[in-house]
Amino acid sequence: MPVIALVGNKGGAGKTTLSVNIAAGIARDRNTAVLDADPQGSSMQWRAFTDDDSTLSVYEAGDDLSGQILALKGQYDCLVIDCPPSVHAPQTNTVLRACDIALIPVQPSPVDLWATVHTERAIEEAREVNPALRAMLILNQLETRTTLSRLVREAAEEIELPVAKTGIRRRAIYRATALEGKSVFDIGRRGADAAEELENLLKEVLI
């Protein structure tokens, strides 16, 4: 019954995109919900575009976030939490203390990777009360299938957090599906490559 949080200290890294798509992938086998802990409400907005009978429920965070997480944990087999773009936000703090796995999407640039040092510190602090917390960086918006640049590899080596073997490529389909309130799992062949990539990532995450 994992609680998976998408966290990070940078805007636009892919937290919301991966929250809804990962949740949709898991929802095929398990009763899954998304909790939008970001006051920007992007996951809520995504859901608002949906006009079909998608089974994925998206909840807006209320004042008692930790109580809400506990309640949803009891109701669903898996909970995916979309966090605001700051590890200093109170919501992120609460979520890191309550979740099982923190996934940190980061764009494959050395500057963005170096900036994850703040996230790393927040994870270490959360582990003082949540020692079983697992954490993993996910390289998102990779440009091509070619290997990562030497700079990116070197920057990743300086970070203590493990990096998922599966990188997520930059694909227009993520933007297109967001506009339709859909995930890449809902659109058949158009989303097949992206769905396969996310399935590989989920194998690493849900061990």
Ligand X SMILES: Nc1ncnc2c1ncn2[C@@H]1O[C@H](COP(=O)(O)OP(=O)(O)OP(=O)(O)O)[C@@H](O)[C@H]1O
List Cβ neighbours of 61 (8 Å cut-off, separation of 6 or more). Answer: 35, 36, 37, 38, 68, 91
Any idea what DSSP says for residue 154?
Answer: H
Of Mg ion, ligand X, none, which one sits near residue 177, judging by CB under 5 to 8 A according to partner kind?
Answer: none
Element (H, E) at 175: helix 172-179
Cα separations in angstroms, 11 against 6, 16, 27, 91, 117: 12, 10, 26, 15, 15
Residue of 9, 16, 68, 91 interacting with Mg ion (CB under 5 A)? 16
Q: Mask 97-136, x = binds ligand X (CB under 6 A)? A: ----------------------------------------
* Among the residue ranges 6-14, 65-73, 112-120, 154-162, the one whose residues contact ligand X (CB under 6 A): 6-14
**Nearest by Cα to 162 from 98, 93, 106, 92:** 106
**Closer CB to ligand X, residue 174 or residue 185?**
174
Cβ atoms of residues 202 and 26 within 8 Å? yes
CB of 207 to ligand X, least distance (A): 23
Residue of 2, 5, 9, 15 interacting with ligand X (CB under 6 A)? 15
102 strand-pairing partners: 5, 135
- HSE-CB at 125 with a 13 A cutoff on CA atoms is 13
**Closer CB to ligand X, residue 1 or residue 143?**
143
**Closer CB to Mg ion, residue 15 or residue 182?**
15
Residue of 10, 15, 47, 73 interacting with Mg ion (CB under 5 A)? 15
Binding-site ranges for Mg ion (CB under 5 A)? 15-16, 42
Binding-site ranges for ligand X (CB under 6 A)? 11-17, 38, 40, 42, 85, 140-141, 168, 170-171, 174-175, 178
